[in-house]
Structure 1
Amino acid sequence: MAPNITTSPTGVLFENDIETVVAPSVEKKNDNAKPREKYRRKLVWRNIILFVYLHLAAVYGAYLMLASAKILTAVFATLLYIAGGFGVTAGAHRLWAHRAYKAKWPLRVILMIFNTLAFQNHIYEWARDHRVHHKYSETDADPHNATRGFFFSHVGWLLVRKHPDVKEKGKTLDMSDLDADPVVMFQKKYYLIIMPILCFILPTVIPVYLWGETWKNAWFVVAMFRYTFTLNITWLVNSAAHMWGNHPYDRFINPAENVSVAVFALGEGWHNYHHVFPWDYKTAELGNYHTNMTTALIDFFSRIGWAYDLKTVPMSMVKRRVERTGDGSHEIWGWGDKDMSREDMDEAQVINKKSK
């Protein structure tokens, strides 16, 4: 979660000391506290059975998509994957978890619907767990602590009971901004009703009645394969992007720049940058649309006035961080140009941020 920072009238961050973003929290020992019971992993068999079925059904769905499904069905599944992905990346992640930009109610409603389509828990719970992940990254309080291995950070964390530290630290977070958001609270209240309709029922019914697809193909391709594929792409941000890649901004943390994850996760793979500057709406230093479709979406809505107060990071701050803690893999293009002043570099970060 981003620190308490200020923005300029244009929405661009003033330079600030960002060490608090990545420095581990230090808690004083309480000598009088009772010794804690050793954590024991408890399997959640309901989740295990469901995920085994999902993945078997997804494999069958992938086969049917190639063998018998109509082309329109495959296109429809792809579009739903992108829409659900945006509900997670532009919605639950960048808008609600990090408050990296603001959105007017029509965009919030669209992103809430897309997020429900993705079925990765409601926005409130997703944002709470993600804020805990950033504040206590790679500790027992991190819901998908990558130091426990690839499988755990990818899917294993959903197959066992949460570590007590996750629940304990989660209760200390300020969630008042989401409590005050009627769109978030509406989804939370009616999630168990609208989620099955948007994620499973409509994606199955629409292909059958609109272009004569079979029930089998509609269920296994559009519902099962599309949903499971979306889940695994999101999980790769927690696993692969915390293990493999460069560390141009901070070599002392696990999150890395992983271009493969960035492409499939609609721009969420530039993870070393994101954990150093979590409030940047791009979740990356650059807004290259071919590897960051979510940034393209937010920029589009900013142009029509539905997204505003987009937060970003001055280039001079990025440069100082790269030089101080980077692993040397950053391409510092432009920084050595004597004809480009520091003010020019900061001005290059100013984009359409005015409130409508």
Structure 2
Amino acid sequence: MSKPRGKLAQLVPRAASRHTWKTEFEWYRRNFHGFLHTSLVGPIVVIFLTAPYVVPKQNTILMAIVWGIIGGFSITIGYHRLWAHRSFTACIGIRIVLAVIGAAQNQWPILWWVKHHRAHHKYTDTDQDPYNAKRGLLFSHIGWLLGLNEIAWGPVDLSDLKQDPVVIWQDRLYWPILITIGILLPGAVAHCGWNDWKGGMLYAGVTRIIITQHITFLINSVAHASWAGTQPYSACTTARNIPLLAILTLGEANHNFHHAFPTDYRNGVNWMEPDFSRWIIWLWERLGWASDLKTASRLEIEQARLNQQKERTQRQGGNHEVNQALFKLPRMSWEEYKQRSDNLDNLICINGVVYNVADFMDDHPGGRDLIQQSLGKDATGLYHGNHLHSPHADNILKGLQVSMLEDSCQ
């Protein structure tokens, strides 16, 4: 890694990728995924052909709704907030239950789900984002699966999940769990309870799975659509807050808040941001089943809101004050920076400013390894690369400042 040069680098917005109908058609043709087409479209055909001959009983419909809500929580609380963002820690019993019920929603194993979701957050709205919203509603909703190309996704760190025995266990037994818990169990309950095994399997099984899938997909598509919702916290990404959709998605459609504060176990902090998943996690903590609930501070949230309300003029117009604060930091030469890094000090350099990241490495949304490989180097390109960091991330970084490189003051 070469020595950084000149003054503090300025963040230059990148031009958005352009995707025409022709390029999109070629994408789907080249990356046609037969299995995913079958698993996503096939059940809809089955429902359409068999529904006229299977009239569900009232208890079956009620079971399908309840089972669908429980399944939705397994994705929002388990797959998303627990495993993808490490927003809290759960006991082994809760993790097993979330892994089993999550597998029954046919949204694929935790490892694979977290892989694409972490890539989405790290490379939001770029070509390395698995469900890049700038490629249109169809692509961000389901097209990214029908034309699957994992090679195009940006790399992410999954080392923490590979050390979780529950995640590995679920990955190995995913298909038996899906078939048994997701389809056969509803049929067995309906058969033993009110003699409706066909309705149980079709409506509380297959139909419920399809509906739960597409409710999840709405977060990737509608909650990133330019015509939908509001952006009260940040305009750095396409993510929107949509209160009505948040009710349907158990809190997930408070998406602008989530992208601004991705490690917060909450996806909303006021009554206009309904978040049922948040309160279940809160209750689990009171019962001793969950711990280490991560939250953004009230000050950080309010600062983000004010910055956005003023169209970020305060942040952009305050560059002089920011630079004045930077020049008050103690000076450090590049050689001293390298020497302290060689002595195992957890230092990184961004834009000529040195930061001590020792207490932040385990909380970094992109994973500890991403910071580990940047220690003792110039990480400017990494910080301002494919992922556009939010004002919340900038504020966290500001609190880690320890010094400024001498060459950056010249």
Structure 1 unaligned regions, length at least 5: 1-22, 27-37, 329-356
How much has 1:174 moved relative to structure 2? 2.1
Task: Give the Cα–Cα distance (whole angstroms) in 2 for the partners of residues 290 and 248 of structure 1.
Answer: 11
1:280 maps to a residue whose letter is: D
Task: Give the Cα–Cα distance (whole angstroms) in 1 for the partners of residues 259 and 105 of structure 2.
Answer: 24
Assess, with a 3 A threshold, how the Cα gap between structure 1 residues 214 and 165 changes in structure 2: closer, same or farther.
closer
Task: Give the Cα–Cα distance (whole angstroms) in 2 for the partners of residues 71 and 326 of structure 1.
Answer: 48
How much has 1:237 moved relative to structure 2? 0.4
Query: Of residues 265, 269, 283 in structure 1, which corresponds to 2:249?
Result: 265
The Cα RMSD (Å) is 2.5
TM-score by length of 1: 0.75
Task: Give the Cα–Cα distance (whole angstroms) in 2 for the partners of residues 264 and 285 of structure 1.
Answer: 17
Task: Give the Cα–Cα distance (whole angstroms) in 2 for the partners of residues 194 and 64 of structure 1.
Answer: 28
Q: Secondary structure at the match of 1:118?
A: coil
Q: Secondary structure at the match of 1:134?
A: helix
Task: Give the Cα–Cα distance (whole angstroms) in 1 for the partners of residues 139 and 290 of structure 2.
Answer: 35
1:175-210 Cα distance to aligned partner (Å, 9 max, x none): 121111111111011112222111112122221222
1:240 is aligned to 2:227: no
After TM superposition, list the pairs within 5 Å mapping 1:47-196 onto structure 2. 47-58=36-47, 68-162=55-149, 164-166=151-153, 169-170=154-155, 173-196=156-179
Q: Which residue of 2 aligns with 1:325?
A: 308
CA contact (8 A) 1:250 1:326 kept: no
Assess, with a 3 A threshold, how the Cα gap between structure 1 residues 326 and 117 changes in structure 2: closer, same or farther.
farther
1:243-262 Cα distance to aligned partner (Å, 9 max, x none): 11100111242000011221
Q: Secondary structure at the match of 2:126?
A: coil
1:280 is aligned to 2:264: yes
Assess, with a 3 A threshold, how the Cα gap between structure 1 residues 248 and 205 changes in structure 2: closer, same or farther.
same
Task: Give the Cα–Cα distance (whole angstroms) in 2 for the partners of residues 25 and 196 of structure 1.
Answer: 46
1:304 is aligned to 2:287: yes
1:44 is aligned to 2:49: no
1:223 maps to a residue whose letter is: G
Greater gyration radius? 2
Q: What is the aligned-residue identity percentage?
A: 33
1:221-266 Cα distance to aligned partner (Å, 9 max, x none): 1112111000010000000000111001112420000112211111
Q: Which residue of 1 aligns with 2:189?
A: 206
How much has 1:127 moved relative to structure 2? 1.0
Q: Give the count of matched residue pairs.
A: 287
Task: Give the Cα–Cα distance (whole angstroms) in 2 for the partners of residues 238 and 302 of structure 1.
Answer: 29
1:231 is aligned to 2:213: yes
How much has 1:108 moved relative to structure 2? 0.9
Task: Give the Cα–Cα distance (whole angstroms) in 1 for the partners of residues 174 and 309 of structure 2.
Answer: 42
Structure 2 unaligned regions, length at least 5: 1-10, 15-25, 312-410
